[in-house]
């Protein structure tokens, strides 16, 4: 029975192979066929810069000298807290903890998220319908796009934007629409609060196809913590035009100088149209764990659950247990307050170095990135740059030059802009300060050599 069904299909397959094989062989002559590209890849990869080498791969430690200090890709050079990684070790000894979790996430983690976040959202979060654990914040956001975007739907993002948003939107048929975060106009030390949005510009970017606005606070790469007033302005437009707000708040635990982190979901009426994104990687120094979560109303979480179930089914079970332990114990250990103080100290090491150089930079009020204005840093045009940074913004070459000559890597900020506006980003290099103080001090010392290259 099966054989009868399968045979004709098998013949078809082998006929196809045969047809391809002889296609380029006129008169049966034995010309070798190019087999390197037999089947074209999907056209969706041509969108969203997906085929360009991503900035994280170019400035990966693997491509740089081994003694180069990595202030590029944002991950820590220290381990998660012992009491969190011990929970991962314990989970690895279990049975259920080593197997599939429910696609909504492990109950222990959902309970921990509920306990930790309910007071911050001024509501009792429901573990069944308002919390979804995902494979990192990235995959959570991707799943929201899968769940909500129709072909041609527009998604507004403030520019600069975290690069991953772009392909995540275009892979799902969405069209990115950019609204500027205007850079500070003065030289010297600026604060991230001086990067401003213009609500009239946001309004004029909205069309009948706009489906969603992405808010990112604290912001990567600017470090901006959006003010209540700014968020109220965005919220009013979301309400007026019936838009979903995706609020990427993965750096929520990292705000400085007493700056208040406002959750747009808590503004009047906004709960029903906002999905808030969180990350265990940032909270517990475990970016490779790929444990993130979404918090929102059932109307957003339910369809997103359907998407994530079919993308990854569930994320790593033992590491969900560890993230749960982290959230369960954080408060009693004073963990987040201590972490904030440590990061403020790390930030200061780099900003002192930039002050000493007299360079213009943005003092971040949140996240762990500092934007340094590198427009006055000069480098020889004929420097032996690798092909990967040629043909990109000037900042790609500047960052490469600084990495090789000074031994400190950073990330070129034009990658966080669309091609049309890349020239704005070219002025900046992003330095991550999620590193131990000794490393940052060594980096600060090396960076003093920039003096030799300032115009
Ligand atoms: N979020 C991190 C950063 O901005 C890493 C992003 C990534 O590697 N995809 O540096």
Domain ranges of the chain: 55-79+335-450, 82-330
Question: What pLDDT is stored for residue 270 in this prediction?
Answer: 98
Question: What pLDDT is stored for residue 455 in this prediction?
Answer: 86
Question: What pLDDT is stored for residue 14 in this prediction?
Answer: 40
- Min mean pLDDT across 34-38, 99-103, 230-234, 349-353 is at 34-38
Hey, what are 358's tokens? Answer: 């007299």
Which of 48, 50, 56 gets mutated to test ligand 1 (max ligand atoms within 8 A of its CB)? 56
Residue 4 phi, psi (nearest 5): -65, -35
Question: What pLDDT is stored for residue 114 in this prediction?
Answer: 98
Going by the DSSP 8-state scheme, the letter that residue 361 receives in this structure is E
CA 287–ligand 1 middle distance (angstroms): 9
126: helix, strand or coil: coil
279 lines ligand 1 (CB under 6 A): no
Beta-strand pair 189-191/361-363: parallel
CA 411/CA 392 separation, integer angstroms: 13
CA 178/CA 202 separation, integer angstroms: 9
Q: Give tens-digit pLDDT for 285-301.
A: 999 999 999 999 999 99
For residue 245, the cross-strand partners are 213, 274
Percent of the chain with pLDDT over 70: 93
Percent of the chain with pLDDT over 90: 91
Helix ranges, 128-211 (H): 136-148, 165-170, 199-205
Which of 74, 160, 221 gets mutated to test ligand 1 (max ligand atoms within 8 A of its CB)? 74
| Fold observed for domain 55-79+335-450 | 3.90.1150
pLDDT band at 128 (very low <50, low <70, confident <90, very high): very high
| Whether pLDDT at 11 is above 70 | no
| Whether pLDDT at 30 is above 90 | no
Hey, what are 18's tokens? Answer: 């045969």
Residue with CA closest to ligand 1 atom 8: 56
74 CA: nearest ligand 1 atom: 10
Question: What pLDDT is stored for residue 10 in this prediction?
Answer: 39
164 lines ligand 1 (CB under 6 A): yes
Hey, what are 341's tokens? Answer: 């103080």
Overall average pLDDT of the 370-386 stretch: 96
| Whether pLDDT at 8 is above 80 | no
216 lines ligand 1 (CB under 6 A): no
27: left (phi over 0), alpha (psi -120 to 50) or beta: left
| Whether pLDDT at 414 is above 50 | yes
Which of 71, 75, 288 gets mutated to test ligand 1 (max ligand atoms within 8 A of its CB)? 75
54 CA: nearest ligand 1 atom: 9
266 lines ligand 1 (CB under 6 A): no
CA 408/CA 430 separation, integer angstroms: 11
| Whether pLDDT at 315 is above 80 | yes
73 lines ligand 1 (CB under 6 A): yes
Question: What pLDDT is stored for residue 27 in this prediction?
Answer: 58
Does the domain at 82-330 match CATH 3.40.50.2000? Answer given as no
Residue with CA closest to ligand 1 atom 1: 74
| Whether pLDDT at 6 is above 50 | no
End-to-end alpha carbon distance in the chain: 80
Overall average pLDDT of the 272-283 stretch: 98
pLDDT band at 13 (very low <50, low <70, confident <90, very high): very low
pLDDT band at 32 (very low <50, low <70, confident <90, very high): confident
Residue with CA closest to ligand 1 atom 2: 74
* Cβ contact 124:116 at 8 Å: no
Give 227-266 as a DSSP string. -HHHHHHHHHHHHHTT-EEEEE-TTTT-B-TT-----GGG
130: helix, strand or coil: coil
Residue with CA closest to ligand 1 atom 3: 74
CA 455–ligand 1 middle distance (angstroms): 31
| Whether pLDDT at 57 is above 90 | yes
Give kind and range of the element (H or E) at residue 52: none
Question: What pLDDT is stored for residue 33 in this prediction?
Answer: 84
pLDDT band at 18 (very low <50, low <70, confident <90, very high): very low
| Whether pLDDT at 104 is above 70 | yes
Q: Please name the residues in contact with 197: beta carbons below 8 A apart, sequence gap of 6 or more.
A: 158, 179, 180, 181, 182, 230, 233, 234
76 lines ligand 1 (CB under 6 A): no
């Amino acid at each position: 029975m099966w054989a009868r069904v399968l045979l004709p299909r098998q013949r078809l397959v082998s006929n196809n192979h045969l047809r391809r094989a002889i296609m380029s062989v006129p008169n049966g002559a034995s010309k070798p066929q190019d087999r390197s590209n037999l089947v074209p890849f999907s056209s969706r990869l041509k969108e969203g810069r997906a085929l360009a080498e991503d900035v994280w791969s170019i400035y990966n430690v693997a491509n740089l000298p081994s003694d180069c200090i990595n202030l590029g890709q944002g991950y820590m050079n220290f381990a998660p807290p012992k009491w969190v990684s011990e929970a991962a070790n314990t989970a690895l000894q279990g049975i259920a903890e080593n197997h599939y979790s429910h696609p909504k996430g492990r109950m222990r983690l959902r309970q921990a998220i509920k306990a930790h976040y309910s007071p911050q959202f001024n509501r009792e979060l429901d573990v069944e319908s308002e919390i979804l654990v995902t494979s990192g914040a990235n995959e959570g956001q991707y799943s929201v796009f899968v769940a909500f975007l129709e072909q041609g739907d527009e998604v507004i993002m403030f520019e600069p934007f975290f690069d991953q948003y772009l392909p995540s939107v275009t892979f799902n048929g969405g069209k990115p629409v950019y609204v500027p975060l205007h850079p500070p106009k003065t030289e010297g030390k600026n604060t991230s609060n001086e990067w401003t949005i213009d609500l009239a510009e946001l309004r004029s970017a909205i069309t009948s196809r706009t489906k969603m606005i992405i808010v990112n606070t604290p912001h990567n790469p600017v470090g901006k913590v959006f003010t209540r007033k700014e968020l109220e302005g965005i919220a009013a437009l979301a309400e007026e035009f019936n838009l979903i707000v995706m609020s990427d708040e993965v750096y929520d635990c990292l705000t400085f100088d007493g700056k208040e982190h406002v959750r747009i979901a808590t503004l009047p009426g906004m709960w029903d149209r906002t999905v808030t994104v969180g990350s265990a990687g940032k909270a517990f120094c475990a970016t490779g764990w790929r444990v993130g979560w979404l918090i929102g109303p059932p109307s957003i979480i339910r369809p997103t659950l359907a998407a994530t179930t079919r993308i990854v089914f569930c994320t790593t079970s033992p590491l969900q247990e560890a993230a749960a332990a982290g959230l369960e114990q954080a408060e009693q250990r004073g963990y987040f307050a201590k972490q904030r103080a440590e990061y403020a100290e790390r930030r200061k090491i780099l900003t002192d170095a930039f002050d000493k150089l007299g360079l213009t930079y943005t003092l971040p009020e949140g996240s762990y990135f500092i934007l340094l204005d590198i427009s006055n840093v000069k480098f020889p045009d004929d420097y032996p740059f690798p092909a990967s940074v040629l043909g990109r913004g000037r900042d790609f070459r500047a960052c490469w030059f600084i990495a090789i000559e000074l031994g400190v890597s950073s990330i070129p900020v034009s990658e966080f802009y669309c091609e049309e506006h890349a020239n704005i980003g070219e002025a900046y290099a992003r330095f991550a300060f999620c590193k131990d103080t000794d490393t940052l001090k060594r980096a600060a010392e090396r960076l003093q050599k920039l003096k030799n290259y300032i115009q």
